């Protein structure tokens, strides 16, 4: 690495093309383009999927765990009338004759889709990278070894009907982290009795970050070469809607050692928060120094001499 090593600190939005893994995006492409080691992402997309990946650069890599928790929105195309062992186009049973798809109206589709919303238990697909007994599930599956996949509690906040051109059903899914949209496709096919698999997936947003703002490899390369990529980075406070405590300039040097934050060190505070909420610790210029948990509500700070903040992650 040359003098540009770890020059960027911030959030970058990337539009992943089909055919490469999220790991390849970070390790083999973006790191190489910007010549920087500290690069990470916040939630994988399957190799065949496209769309938004949130990239963290430099100090921002320490923010990835908080961004991962944000709601995701996808546009999904489901092929009805066939089954797949992987729940996507890779594992389609090609020798299986097509299964008759029931004739349904848009209203009937919407009613059935609503059955899949809410907080649900979702079984992890057997062809996934989730580990059971120290081994990836997909490795068991490829060897023909039966392993009971774990269940996860996820929240499907909304499934919106977009289009149906037989056999393709297009939907929009808003969901929590850890949701497998291809599992929804498989479960929907089973519910209809005709089978179904995910034929295309595109991530549209993560929290308030949208695909419209995302860059391609060519964009990143050009902006980096022209020394303007830094202008495309998104500050933390626009990604995470946290309240904040601003500390005095003299206290700033003690953040790395995790010194207890009390009222006498606070210049001002931003937003409304209650005990247990995640909040930022900022310096007097508004730069984020750490992420932590509020120990008191924003309404109780002024005349409070107790501990105000518990550190979760210091940005250094």
Looking up residue 101, the CATH number of its domain turns out to be 3.30.2350.10
**Tokens (6 digits) for 69:** 């928790």
Q: Which residues touch 96 (CB under 8 Å, ≥6 apart)?
A: 82, 83
Residue 205, strand partner residues: 73, 210
Residues 88 and 165 in one domain: yes
Residues 29/16, Cβ–Cβ less than 8 Å? no
Write the CATH number for 294: 2.30.130.10
249 occurs within a structural domain? yes
* Catalytic annotation present for 187: no
Structural domain contains residue 1:
no
- Give the C-alpha separation, 135 to 198, whole Å: 25
pTM of the model: 0.89
132 shares a domain with 36? no
Q: Is pLDDT of 151 > 60?
A: yes
Asked if residue 162 is part of any domain, the answer here is yes
Please check whether residues 215 and 278 belong to one and the same domain. Answer: no
Whether 216 is in a domain gets the answer: yes
Domain membership of residue 286 as a residue range:
242-314
- Are 133 and 38 found together in one domain? no
Are residues 181 and 107 part of one domain? yes
Structural domain count, the chain: 3
**Statement to judge: residues 111 and 160 lie in one domain:** yes
What pLDDT, in 10s, does the model give residues 217-268?
A: 999 999 999 999 999 999 887 899 999 999 999 999 999 999 999 999 999 9
Q: What is the pLDDT of residue 1?
A: 42
- Residue 92 makes CB contacts below 8 A (sequence gap 6+) with 82, 83, 84, 197
- Mark whether 88 and 146 lie in a shared domain: yes
Catalytic residue among 46, 69, 88, 146: 46
Task: Indicate whether 87 and 184 sit together in one domain.
Answer: yes
Q: What is the mean pLDDT of residues 108-137?
A: 85
Overall average pLDDT of the 76-86 stretch: 95
Q: Both 168 and 85 in a single domain?
A: yes
Q: Is the pLDDT of residue 147 over 80?
A: no
Q: What is the pLDDT of residues 160-203, one digit of tens each?
A: 999 999 999 999 999 999 899 999 999 999 999 999 999 999 99
215 and 158 fall within a common domain: no
Domain check: are 176 and 259 in the same one? no
Instruction: Give the N- to C-terminal CA distance of the chain in Å, as an integer.
Output: 20
């Amino acid at each position: 690495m040359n003098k540009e090593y770890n020059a960027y600190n911030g959030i970058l939005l990337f539009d992943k093309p089909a055919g490469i893994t999220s790991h390849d995006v970070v390790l083999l492409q973006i790191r190489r383009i910007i010549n920087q080691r500290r690069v990470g992402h916040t939630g994988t997309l399957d190799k065949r999927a496209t769309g938004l990946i949130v990239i963290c650069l430099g100090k921002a890599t320490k923010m990835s765990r908080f961004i991962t928790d944000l709601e995701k929105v996808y546009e999904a195309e489901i092929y009805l009338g066939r089954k797949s062992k992987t729940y996507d186009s890779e594992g389609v049973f090609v020798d299986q004759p097509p299964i008759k798809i029931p004739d349904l109206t848009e209203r009937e589709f919407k009613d059935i889709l609503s059955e899949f919303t809410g907080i649900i238990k979702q079984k992890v697909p057997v062809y996934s990278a989730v580990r059971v007994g120290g081994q990836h599930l997909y490795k068991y599956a490829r060897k023909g070894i039966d392993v009971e996949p774990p269940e996860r509690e996820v929240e499907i906040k909304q499934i919106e009907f977009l289009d149906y051109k037989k056999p393709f059903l297009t939907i929009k899914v808003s969901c929590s982290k850890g949701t497998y949209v291809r599992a929804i496709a498989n479960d929907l096919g089973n519910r209809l009795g005709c089978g179904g698999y995910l034929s295309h997936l595109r991530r549209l947003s993560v929290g308030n970050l949208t695909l419209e703002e995302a860059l391609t490899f060519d964009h990143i390369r050009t902006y980096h070469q022209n020394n303007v990529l830094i202008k495309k980075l998104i500050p933390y406070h626009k990604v995470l809607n946290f309240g904040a405590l601003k500390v005095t300039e003299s206290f700033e040097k003690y953040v790395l050692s995790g010194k207890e934050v009390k009222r006498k060190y606070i210049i001002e505070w931003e937003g409304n928060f209650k005990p247990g909420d995640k909040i930022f610790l900022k310096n007097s210029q508004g730069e984020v120094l750490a992420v932590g948990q509020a120990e008191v509500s924003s309404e109780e700070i002024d005349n409070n001499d107790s501990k105000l903040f518990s550190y979760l992650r210091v940005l250094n």
